[in-house]
Chains A and B, each alone.
Chain A
């Protein structure tokens, strides 16, 4: 609520309407100053950047854990870590990469880009956005704080019961893990709801559903998947916490519970989770491909439909993670068929991209390098996925290093390669400067080579019988040479990430100045300055075709008449994005932070005493009341008059 506008300059002295409006918008949307201002920030570009940077830090931490594990496994009977520490490290690696890196990173990229791509000024629920970020941060700090205090979880990122239950994992380790899950899923849900409403109601006039950029489609599908998948794991982790803290027996077979119930709940979330990470990456790839082949992505409708059907089918095949649990025959056949079915839309997606490549004029810049590498890497992972989704084969390689190889090909190939491509592509928009080309090529080639060197041998190790999640192995198993090779690859990957960091820091200061649209791109985020101003667009754009910027190359039509002295945005209709009404969005406030902290106090205290519910409940009541306390409507008298 920016009610106290400074006195505007004399209308007579301002000749240029546009300059006048820009001034107004700056004053209306400018963030508050100082630390308080930083903490109360709710603008989507700022929240998105925080998500991205925080997730990147967790990516680095997860990478260090991966290096430690690879070092430990580089030879038989290595003594770098004992089993207790190793089990914590691999649990931290999995939990970090899945819960603290991949999903929040995609969330952050979406929150940053989607409002820009659909031509609006902020996300639909700015304060919910801030709340989501703070809970995510608290979850991450909780997990790493626990790890540093030697209460890092050690039952795996999947925390199978009964191992993770009260009897076989006494202490607080698994409790901390379970609470961290709840936090990050709260953030995930907040972000997802926000994106769905933003996409449905805040698109620029003319951007009907069938003109939305593919990235926005991807984010929409991903957000719906979050809404349906995350509650499953929140229910599961809450049941686990209750088993552990107040003696319920959801998962205790001795008391009528069921150990497999956990696996069903967990994988009903866990498999869609992979697509929650992968589908935004599909959107990034489509964005990059359109720009670097200089044509539209071949087959807009099939591509959208494949993303939607991957989203649906993704919920129907979780049981292939449980093929070794002894399923009845019909279950095996059904879930094999369902698992194979997802290969069809994935295939169609890939074929459409190949057609795009085939029919375009390739502009071989770094973002495209990562996309091309994605093809080789991801298809390899997808094919081993078909093998693992086939019941009879899975019974052999399940829970061996073959699986480790497979999902690193899928997740690094399907998410990290596109993310790095996206980083090279959108870095100019975020920072106003280009990432260095020469270091970028070194970064790319070392990563590509190091990745394949690390993970390809693991297929082979799995077929030789090496189990997952072992801290050591005997000299007599014959696994050492391939493990050594994989460790060498991991070191090369680490070098590559170091090069990337150097490139980022160097380019932030000295990179080539980018300008609004260095790539000649087609989506709306490139029509504003780099980085975008706090109000995103001087005039809200309107859209005349699927590739908004290319379609409107002559003169970009805009909406005028939205007030610039309030945080006002245009709300449009769901299907055709015809303008509906104007709405005012809330501004910066500290309340989301206080609510997140109250949630944190409750969830952390509950680990130690049931009184946590009471204390946290009171704090939540107070902070939520503060957040939603009715405020007087906008004070009309303070608003300056619009110049004529």
Chain B
């Protein structure tokens, strides 16, 4: 029981628990179940610790160093130091234990029912006009494929997912290599991405905001740096984002950017990455068509700016050891041109 105030203190000290800071209907449902379980736990822990302390205060065996006498009704007459047991008290204790067991059973039943009804409530949230997004896990980045009824309007992006506020999103989860797990604490529950199996998860944001998500199943060397960002925005803004992402990459406008595009296409970059509207169409690494429109680099772990971009290209291994991007050696001019080109891919 000493811990409850500590926990409350911790809650205020750290500006809220993100999981309990629901920003969507799914997490709100889960949160009420959570509150119930937390309440039950606090009461049970308090009861156990208080009973224990009560016993401790009530019946000390006298001197600490002397062996107290034995109390047991099975001790035969003449047994050394035996004291007769209080039969009435034993019966009372038996009744108390029995009652506690019944209460436990009832509480467990309540939890089972609450769990089932939460599951049913979550299932009811599904709606037919949901946005469908295919999420593909890779070591160690995320591929998001936003689907549309018209297949020509499907778009591909990486590590940053935009969703419209107030509209359910159905995520179809799959993995290209090992098992990953998808979770955005404020918006969803958690679901694994398993090779050879498709899982489904719903997500809905009720308010605009930028939410961090991450991989939660250990997936190898850079499990720690497999993050992503979910941007929840008003439906109009989302549609604008979608329209923009559907466009091929803007052609380079100045000479430097043109040189940069050549560096990209002729160098090793195009072996792994795709930029629509160019010849680069590989899918080993993230699609870079609108890379400059994203706020992060290296799967949600670095801010997107020129310094980090340059560092990433030249020696990705120093920023995220073990990832699959090789170090690229470029003359300064080429690097500059490449950076200018990539930054133009808004």
Binding site for B on A (CB under 8 A): 82-84, 87, 155-156, 160, 162-163, 167-168, 253-254, 258-260, 294-296, 298-299, 302, 324-326, 329, 332-333, 336-337, 340-341, 343-344, 347-348, 350-352, 354-355, 357-365, 372, 375-376, 379-380, 383-384, 386-387, 390-393, 395-400, 452, 456-457, 459-460, 463-465, 467-474, 477-478, 481-482, 519-520, 522, 544-547, 550-551, 553-554
Contacts and interface: CB of A to CB of B under 8 A. Distances in A.
B93 A355 contact: yes
Nearest to A346: B104
A481 to B, nearest CB: 7
B51 A354 contact: yes
A464 B3 contact: no
B255 interface: no
Given A160-B179, A465-B18, A478-B15, A399 B322 contact: no
Contact of B70 (A259, A294, A337, A396): A294
B82 interface: yes
Contact of A469 (B64, B76, B82, B218): B218
B218 A156 contact: yes
26 contacts: A83-B321, A295-B72, A296-B74, A302-B97, A343-B108, A359-B90, A360-B55, A360-B59, A361-B71, A363-B61, A363-B64, A383-B41, A386-B111, A387-B34, A387-B41, A390-B33, A393-B115, A460-B14, A463-B19, A464-B185, A465-B19, A467-B216, A467-B224, A472-B225, A545-B74, A553-B75
A305 B3 CA distance: 32
A162 B177 contact: yes
Interface stretch (B188-196, B240-248, B258-266): B188-196
Interface string B110-134: 0110011011001100000000000
Given A361-B68, A399-B216, A551-B75, A383 B45 contact: yes
A347 B47 CA distance: 12
A365 B60 CA distance: 11
B190 A550 contact: no
Contacts of B227: 474
Chain A interface mostly: helix
A112 B19 CA distance: 47
Given A302-B97, A351-B100, A361-B61, A324 B52 contact: no
Interface string B88-114: 011001101100110011001001100
Contacts of B67: 294, 363, 519-520
Interface string B167-202: 000000100011101010100011110111101100
Given A363-B68, A393-B37, 10 more contacts: A83-B322, A163-B218, A253-B196, A295-B70, A361-B61, A396-B27, A396-B183, A465-B183, A547-B75, A551-B74
Interface string B199-230: 11000000000001011111111111101000
Nearest to B71: A295
Interface in B32-53: 33-34, 37-38, 40-41, 44-45, 48-49, 51-52
A578 B55 CA distance: 40
B178 A163 contact: yes
A351 B214 contact: no
A546 B197 CA distance: 55
Contacts of A470: 223-224
B20 interface: yes
B6 interface: yes
Interface string B132-143: 000000010000
Contact of A387 (B37, B68, B75): B37
Contacts of B15: 478
Contact of B322 (A84, A326, A332, A391): A84
Contacts of A387: 34, 37-38, 41
Contacts of B224: 83, 467, 470-473
Contact of B48 (A375, A395, A473): A375
B79 interface: yes
B245 to A, nearest CB: 25
Contacts of A398: 181, 190, 216
Contacts of B139: 168
Contact of B192 (A83, A326, A520, A551): A326
Contacts of A354: 48, 51-52, 55
B119 A467 contact: no
A380 B45 contact: yes
A371 B220 CA distance: 39
A380 B3 contact: yes
B149 interface: no
A383 B49 CA distance: 13
Given A253-B195, A397-B19, A468 B52 contact: no
Given A396-B189, A399-B190, A357 B321 contact: no
Contact of A359 (B10, B20, B70, B89): B89
8 A-B pairs with least C-beta separation: A253-B196, A395-B189, A470-B224, A326-B199, A383-B41, A361-B61, A357-B55, A399-B216
A553 B96 CA distance: 32
A398 B188 CA distance: 12
Interface size class of B (residues with CB under 8 A): 35 or more
Nearest to B44: A383
Given A84-B321, A259-B194, A351 B101 contact: yes
B54 interface: yes
B173 to A, nearest CB: 8
Contact of B37 (A168, A355, A390): A390
B301 A474 contact: yes
B93 A358 contact: yes
Nearest to B7: A460
Contact of A326 (B27, B33, B94, B191): B191
Contacts of B14: 460, 464, 478, 481-482
B69 interface: yes
Contacts of B17: 460, 463-464
A340 B108 contact: yes
Contacts of B214: 465, 467
A336 B20 contact: no
B254 interface: no
B163 interface: no
A477 B218 CA distance: 19
Contacts of A397: 19
A465 B190 contact: no
Contact of B56 (A295, A362, A469): A362
Contacts of B322: 83-84
Contacts of B101: 344, 347-348, 351
A355 B96 contact: yes
B224 to A, nearest CB: 4
B257 interface: no
A520 B321 CA distance: 60
Given A351-B101, A361-B61, A546-B74, A393 B30 contact: yes
B330 interface: no
B282 interface: no
A376 B29 CA distance: 30
Contacts of B72: 295-296, 547, 550
B78 interface: yes
Contact of B219 (A163, A296, A329, A359): A163
B85 interface: yes
Given A361-B61, A392-B122, A386 B41 contact: yes
Given A163-B179, A553-B75, A396 B104 contact: no
Contacts of A355: 93-94, 96-97
Interface string B277-308: 00000000000000000000000010000000
A398 B217 CA distance: 9
B19 A160 contact: no
Contacts of B183: 396, 465
B12 to A, nearest CB: 12
B190 A326 contact: no
Nearest to B53: A372
A379 B45 contact: yes
A382 to B, nearest CB: 9
